[in-house]
Structure 1
Amino acid sequence: HTRWLTVVPLPAYAPDLNPVEGVWAHVKRDLGNHLRVTADQLTTTIKTLLKRIQYRPDLITGFLGQTDLTLDPEPP
């Protein structure tokens, strides 16, 4: 599959290359403004915050942009 598959080795732990780190940082920042009493309430709050991100493509693009990775990398 060398015609269409490119493998790029990454370090074992690289939070700066992981856009999810930005998502969780954003969610954790917003969690400070909510009062939760039970684990179910916390789960509901987190799902709501993640759902808001889903409808903000500019924010998602920003999380991806922070990684400096390209979606179409050049072969090594």
Structure 2
Amino acid sequence: MIRSYFPRKIFLIQDNTSYHKDREVWRWLSDQRRYIEVYNLPSYSPELNALEGVWHFTRLQVTHNRYLVSLEELYGSLTFTFRSIQRAPSRVQAFLGPFK
């Protein structure tokens, strides 16, 4: 099924937080190693994780000082925020700036 969505190899880069170490997940990833290559960042190293800037921006846009009434509202806010990031290459460049 993975190949139908992603024709090339997937490189999964994740932080080393505890919920990324679930046995079931790792068993599945091991079975998919022909298609998915996993890289774990060192623990407690957000400065190495390019997505930290995205998560910070997302929290400010979506949840900071806001009460969301439903999961649908949360989903809608997240979708709007992620699409706004996709439409703004300069914002993506800003998130990646520290990694130049």
Taking structure 2 as the reference length, what is the TM-score of the superposition? 0.51
After superposition, give the CA deviation of every residue in 1:16-75 in whole Å (9 maximum; x if it has no partner).
111111001001111236552011210111111010000111110111112x3x5xxxxx
- Shift of the 34–49 alpha-carbon distance from structure 1 to 2, 3 Å rule, reads farther
Q: Give identity over the alignment, percent.
A: 27
Larger strand share, 1 or 2: 2
Structure 2: which 5+ runs fail to align? 1-38
In the TM superposition, residue 11 of structure 1 has moved relative to its aligned partner by 4.9
1:12 aligns with 2:52: no
> Larger relative CO (CA 8 A, sep 6+): 1 or 2?
1
Taking structure 1 as the reference length, what is the TM-score of the superposition? 0.65
Give the distance between the partners of 2:84 and 2:51, measured in 1 at CA: 15
Structure 1: which 5+ runs fail to align? 1-8, 71-76
* 8 Å contact kept, 2:85–2:91: yes
Cα RMSD (Å) = 2.2
